[in-house]
Structure 1
Amino acid sequence: MKKYQVMLAALAAAVLAACGGQSPTAEPIAAGTQVQVRIMETTDLHAYMVGYDYFRQQPTASYGLAHTAALIHAARAEQPNNFLVDNGDLIQGSALGDWVAAQGSAYVDQYRHPIMRAFNYLQYDVGNLGNHEFNFGLEFLESTIAGADFPYVSANVFWADSAENAGKQSQGWDNPLVEPYVIVRKELVADDGTLVPVHVGFIGFLPPQIMRWDQQHLEGQVRVRDMVAAAEYYVPKMRAQGADLVVAIPHSGLRLYDTYPEFAEQATYQLAGVSGLDALMFGHQHQLFPGSAAYDDLPEVDNERGFVRGVPAVSPGYWGDYLGIIDFHLEYDGTAWSVINSQVEVRPISEAKDTRLEAMMAAEHEATVAMLNEPLGELETAVTSLFGRIRPGSAVQMINDAQRWFAEGLQATGELPSDLPLLSAAAPFRNGFQSADDYTMIAAGEFTLGSLVDLYVYPNTLQVVELTGAQLIEWLEMSALAYRTIRANEAEAQELFSRYPSFNFDVIDGLSYRFDLSQPPRYSNQGKLINTQSRRVHDVRYQGEPIDLERKFLVAVNNYRAGGGGNFPGLDGRSIVYSTGEEVRQVIAAYARAKTLENNGNLAVAVADNWSLKLPEGATVRFRGNGSELAAEEAQKIPGLREVRRGDDGFVWYELNVQP
């Protein structure tokens, strides 16, 4: 990364890759001297820089770095001895991030990425790479971080010295993509008013799964190591090179395993067991720590005070809705600093915002809004994901229609074999995970590119895989993990949905099938076969006939799934028969333009009633959903569905007691 290396050299005076316990010109530190140190974290900003909802095109105070910046300024005013870090998934996610990426590396080289301009203004000390930093390719990433006035770190991603060695993931520590760690030296004000040098080491980690999720950008060029192995290798070096505090910044969540699997995606709990770490500033799961119910009742996890296996830890949500803070009280014993106390806090944002930062984003923000308002045509009916896991829905149907249309064009030109049946797979991406408003809701009438941002939130590219009928059934068994096992004849309503992400609930268009929820899951979330006799997926048919288990099918799907995202059996990159650089959103836009031209400016979405849920006899299930008028209208069309209560969080609880 030549551009990044040039930038890194310019930072060498401020960031010490190797240093002693104190600078050679400083006065000796008296034994017993104490100092306060504050470390702040943002994570999973996903290019939400200003407080603006690009889905609904209106200001919001619920998220955005402009609001987080107000907390950063206040926290610095309280404690001048501070460091600020970002934990990745920074440049992709919002429409603004997409607009900048569409301008390409040349734009970023000339003007700097606007997010880096904002970070430089806020004086970040360190940035860690997340998995979404690779979505736009290595060249764009290189240009982006070259504009940072601070170093980027990641201890478990490396350049491959050859294509042959790219797959040897567990070998070698040479050729890191960015610095594995840095040690930042600052003169801090001690409790007695004297200035003392303190050296804080920061080490970053990212999910090894980038090799599958962004295979088209990374294959043959980079390799990854396990996060825990990287920590065990580098942390002792950081200590030996004079780090007074060592702070891990894993772009990784918190999960317990019976046996820790090498290259695990969620490794924060295991990193807490690495000797020499003083703090964990994590992310990736879009959860709050301390505080999220997802982290309740985990052994050695204090979800009130913010400690994981005795190590202070923080994860400040997503999109800038919180600022994470860890405060340390250090004491010098004559030879080294030691931690005598620490405190963890997550601070929610408010209406207050940094108008200067907002003004810095104005040009790109306005260009983004203009891009979103490009009209594409008229929708004859609303397109939503409101009940997309209860029955077939219009949002997934529109995605599948566009993907099949594109792949049919490839068959027509001979780029795909025309003698194989063509299917498409897509999921309801926005299904209430973030909030009660986190659903695709595109009203009937004029629709724009902004509508497509609402429909498809990721910059995935389109690929085509070839699988047998038997493999397609196993694919659907993984989709069935969306549901809990439901018991017959229970007096109380049972929870319908598991914690399985909605983006892994693939609907395969072109097949018909039903899910029997009386059966236990066939697979674990990791794609491991756990119940060999269990079958939740039944009556799978193609063109009305039982599917031929040995027949081969083509399936249009996004690169995340085709490359192994979600751990679906049969989908690990080896079944890909066609790859395109076209983003799925671009495919949907092209499809919408073509169909509106064919139909006097109108676009119809005809939902195929191709799958259903089978509930056990006498069972009632419950789930939460959106409470809008549009949701109420759709709910009336689902037999046996009724609203039972409305919560203070904006969600509505429904009960379903007959098969839809």
Structure 2
Amino acid sequence: MRRTTIISLLAVLALSLQGCSPTPEREQQVELRILHTNDLHAYLLGYDYFQQRDTDRFGLAHTAALVHQARLEQPNNLLFDNGDTIQGSAMGDWAHAQGLEYLQQQRHPVIRAMNYLGYDAAALGNHEFNYGLEYLDATIEGATFPFLSANVFEPDATADDWQASRYTPYVIQKHSFVGSDLQRHDIQVGVLGLVPPDIMRWDRHHLEGRVQARDMLAAAQYFVPKMRDEGADVVVVIAHTGLRDYGDYPEFAEQTGLYLAQVEWVDALLLGHQHRQLPGPDYQELAGVDAERGFIHGVPAVMGGQYGSHLGVIDLTLKRTDGTWQVVQAASELRQVGPERDELLVALLSDEQAHTLAMLNQPLGDTDGAIENFFARVAPNTAVAWVNQAQSWYATSLQQQGELPDLPIISAAAPFRSGFGGPEDYTHLAAGPLTLGNIADLYIYPNTLRVIELSGSELRDWLEMSARTFNTIEAGKDEWQPLLAPRIPSYNFDMMNELSYRIDLSQPARFDGEGQQVSDSHRIVDLSYQGQPVSAEQRFLLATNNYRVSGGGFFPHATTAPVYYTGQMEVRQIIAAYTREQAKQHGAAIPVQLQQNWQLKLPAEARLEFRSSSLAAAKAKAERHPRLQFLGLDDDGYGRYQYLPE
């Protein structure tokens, strides 16, 4: 229930004391608890859809148990969500597959769960826009609480027009809280929502010409004082963004938390997007951040990992002085989920869960080998190869139908489940039946296919950008060198089929994280197509995805190249269609083929290590690989591996 029986008891006691002398204003004090979830990605039930088994490591049903406990501890509480709620899990995929008609008849399962828990407000995240505005609008219409976004505007709004918001930018909610004097006090809580303006790149095909996105910091600087002027006693900013020190702040930055905390009148900052933890082990080296206590430039802040793995808790002490409520004390913490879960929430979504599992277990065909990506960052692998084969197959069919010019077709794809979520978070599909659920394991995002035209030199630049994932390796260094550079996500390491190349790690990276050239070096060497060197002027078609073509990962030439195909079919659907076609051709044993078309070029005596899965299947593969050797486990439970140069 939204208010516990403790509230009722306190209220009765407060009424009995009304005949007493009123508490002096200077002694009026209220304790307010802010509860926060972020990046749920439609993981509602504590269920691992990749392994198809229950888990107590994440899931809103487990987070809900923490919510109930936190509310019992402090009846003066508010519950907020940071966004990226409706996309990411198989249940989210199932709900989207039902279409708009489903949403017109009943609420989205995520919204049903959030309504049940009594959220007070939520911000839109970038992944809310993945399915288009019509789907998003129909989804949030079923919420009993407001969804907020202060920096998404109508397409024709002028730069100085802050009134043309596409969504509700903020709310000021009046709450009656019991103070230390056992009296009720009305407190106005202002809540602002923000989303990365990068949505205009990442989901350009849904949003271009229909909305515009502005800088998050500029929006906060405009709206926060306005909220104060309109009577907000407390201002909470729910910003679907993380933390990064840019030095000179760039307009339209993706990670703005460090700067939002410096906006005057912000009392609490709720973060997400980066799937990290605050307070916690992350951000310890970032100036202005007290990672241990959870403060950014003195403002209490939380970020709770991903999938509901943690509940963020901010406790504020408010004191009324001279007619104004002010925050005089604050504390932040994260609470990690455990075995306890909300069984009513599980029962509430039992039908949706059954439909989701039925969808996942639809058979597509049988493979004769494993499809996995244990070592996708250091060598060709069958998981990315399967995606590339599917994209090339589909692009070839388009070419045969006359929809694409007669140019060589190359495909680019990256590993997704590659250890971010822990030592078991890797794609590993054993030989045998392949289902739709396996495709969701292999390709976790709802990206759609794009086919663009690039020159040979532009393809090389694309691969150079991918090669940022590696450190520069020094020759003659008699100590361990980490092979992989930190903080570069696996989904920004594109591999291409049909081309052959080597990656020379004695050379520094050619591009930085924003795709700007920072050296004249080339890591990509011996680039060839069908046994012949690729010339700078040679023309190719590249099959990739909308995220990349919209600027995701800042790959050179991705946003400026001619686009020959813009499809609405998800890449996952293309992979499923490719698998069915392979089953028709090969029957009960679809061959899993791997093209050994790229390799690392390294100093002969370098001692190189990296981490990957600790699963037995990963160790067994390392034993069969001529360049890999298992060394043991690191402190986080990942496998430590040595990469042996030639």
Instruction: Confirm or deny a common fold (TM above 0.5).
Output: yes
Query: How is 1:445-464 mapped onto 2 (pairs within 5 angstroms)?
Result: 445-464=432-451
Distance in 2 (CA, whole Å) between partners of 1:93 and 1:40 is 22
Answer whether contact 2:47 2:55 (CA < 8 A) is retained: yes
Aligned twin of 1:259: 248
1:144 matched to 2:131: no
Instruction: Name the SS for the 2:26 alignment partner.
Output: coil
Aligned twin of 1:345: 333
Distance in 1 (CA, whole Å) between partners of 2:429 and 2:562 is 34
Quick one: percent identity of the two aligned structures? 50
Give the CA deviation at 1:491.
Answer: 1.5
Aligned twin of 1:22: none
Aligned twin of 1:500: 488
Instruction: Name the SS for the 1:31 alignment partner.
Output: helix
Distance in 2 (CA, whole Å) between partners of 1:511 and 1:212 is 28
1:68 matched to 2:57: no
More divergent stretch after superposition (143-152 vs 284-293): 284-293
Distance in 1 (CA, whole Å) between partners of 2:342 and 2:524 is 52
Query: How is 1:481-630 mapped onto 2 (pairs within 5 angstroms)?
Result: 481-498=468-485, 499-531=487-519, 533-572=520-559, 574-630=561-617
More divergent stretch after superposition (251-260 vs 141-150): 251-260
Give the CA deviation at 1:32.
Answer: 2.5
Paired residue for 1:236, among 218, 221, 225?
Answer: 225
Q: What are the Cα deviations for residues 229-272 of structure 1, in whole angstroms up to 9, with x where unaligned?
A: 11111111001001111111110110001221111111110111
Instruction: Name the SS for the 2:42 alignment partner.
Output: coil
Aligned twin of 1:421: 408
1:361 matched to 2:349: yes
Give the CA deviation at 1:171.
Answer: 5.5
In the alignment of these two chains, the number of paired residues is 624
Q: Return the TM-score normalized by structure 2.
A: 0.95
Give the CA deviation at 1:645.
Answer: 1.4
Aligned twin of 2:271: 282
Paired residue for 1:318, among 288, 303, 306?
Answer: 306
1:111 matched to 2:106: yes
Aligned twin of 2:5: none
Distance in 1 (CA, whole Å) between partners of 2:430 and 2:531 is 33
Distance in 2 (CA, whole Å) between partners of 1:83 and 1:512 is 56
Distance in 1 (CA, whole Å) between partners of 2:264 and 2:393 is 54
Answer whether contact 1:562 1:575 (CA < 8 A) is retained: no
Paired residue for 1:441, among 421, 424, 428?
Answer: 428
Distance in 2 (CA, whole Å) between partners of 1:523 and 1:267 is 23
Distance in 1 (CA, whole Å) between partners of 2:307 and 2:72 is 23
- Return the letter of the residue paired with 1:281: L
1:89 matched to 2:80: no
Aligned twin of 2:16: none
- Return the letter of the residue paired with 1:399: V
Give the CA deviation at 1:634.
Answer: 1.4
Give the CA deviation at 1:173.
Answer: 2.1
Q: What are the Cα deviations for residues 529-548 of structure 1, in whole angstroms up to 9, with x where unaligned?
A: 111x2211111111111112
- Return the letter of the residue paired with 1:186: H
Give the CA deviation at 1:114.
Answer: 1.2
Give the CA deviation at 1:509.
Answer: 1.1
Instruction: Name the SS for the 1:144 alignment partner.
Output: helix
- Return the letter of the residue paired with 1:189: V
Aligned twin of 1:469: 456
Instruction: Name the SS for the 1:636 alignment partner.
Output: helix
Q: What are the Cα deviations for residues 77-126 of structure 1, in whole angstroms up to 9, with x where unaligned?
A: 00010110000000000000000000011101211111111111100000
RMSD: 1.3
Aligned twin of 1:19: none
1:382 matched to 2:370: yes
Instruction: Name the SS for the 2:624 alignment partner.
Output: coil
Distance in 1 (CA, whole Å) between partners of 2:23 and 2:367 is 73
Instruction: Name the SS for the 2:98 alignment partner.
Output: helix
Answer whether contact 2:504 2:525 (CA < 8 A) is retained: yes
Q: What are the Cα deviations for residues 444-482 of structure 1, in whole angstroms up to 9, with x where unaligned?
A: 011111111110000101111111111111111110111
Aligned twin of 2:3: none
Instruction: Name the SS for the 1:473 alignment partner.
Output: helix
Aligned twin of 1:56: 51
Aligned twin of 1:247: 236
Paired residue for 1:99, among 94, 99, 109?
Answer: 94
Answer whether contact 1:207 1:265 (CA < 8 A) is retained: yes
Distance in 1 (CA, whole Å) between partners of 2:75 and 2:217 is 33
Give the CA deviation at 1:575.
Answer: 3.0
Aligned twin of 1:35: 30
- Return the letter of the residue paired with 1:572: T
- Return the letter of the residue paired with 1:106: E
Give the CA deviation at 1:36.
Answer: 0.2
Distance change in 2, residues 1:171/1:415 (3 Å): farther
- Return the letter of the residue paired with 2:49: Y
- Return the letter of the residue paired with 1:587: I
Q: What are the Cα deviations for residues 484-539 of structure 1, in whole angstroms up to 9, with x where unaligned?
A: 111112221111111211000000111111111111111111111111x2211111
Instruction: Name the SS for the 1:602 alignment partner.
Output: coil
Distance in 1 (CA, whole Å) between partners of 2:628 and 2:497 is 25
Give the CA deviation at 1:28.
Answer: 10
Distance change in 2, residues 1:455/1:29 (3 Å): farther
- Return the letter of the residue paired with 1:519: Q
Aligned twin of 2:7: none
Answer whether contact 1:171 1:225 (CA < 8 A) is retained: no
Instruction: Name the SS for the 1:269 alignment partner.
Output: helix
Give the CA deviation at 1:29.
Answer: 8.1
Aligned twin of 1:204: 193
Distance in 1 (CA, whole Å) between partners of 2:217 and 2:24 is 34
Answer whether contact 1:253 1:285 (CA < 8 A) is retained: yes
- Return the letter of the residue paired with 1:507: M
Distance in 1 (CA, whole Å) between partners of 2:70 and 2:611 is 36
- Return the letter of the residue paired with 1:250: A
Aligned twin of 2:39: 44
Distance in 2 (CA, whole Å) between partners of 1:171 and 1:383 is 52
Distance in 1 (CA, whole Å) between partners of 2:281 and 2:400 is 50
1:129 matched to 2:124: yes
Paired residue for 1:401, among 367, 389, 392?
Answer: 389
Distance in 2 (CA, whole Å) between partners of 1:546 and 1:29 is 84
Q: What are the Cα deviations for residues 308-358 of structure 1, in whole angstroms up to 9, with x where unaligned?
A: 111111101110010001000010013201111000010001100000001
Answer whether contact 2:268 2:300 (CA < 8 A) is retained: yes
Aligned twin of 1:268: 257
Paired residue for 1:159, among 154, 166, 175?
Answer: 154
Q: Structure 1: which 5+ residue stretches go unaligned?
A: 1-26
Distance in 1 (CA, whole Å) between partners of 2:424 and 2:116 is 32
Give the CA deviation at 1:61.
Answer: 0.5
Answer whether contact 2:603 2:645 (CA < 8 A) is retained: no
Answer whether contact 2:453 2:561 (CA < 8 A) is retained: no
Aligned twin of 2:9: none
Give the CA deviation at 1:438.
Answer: 0.9
Distance in 2 (CA, whole Å) between partners of 1:373 and 1:277 is 48
Answer whether contact 1:32 1:334 (CA < 8 A) is retained: no
Q: Which runs of 4+ in 1 moved over 6 A?
A: none
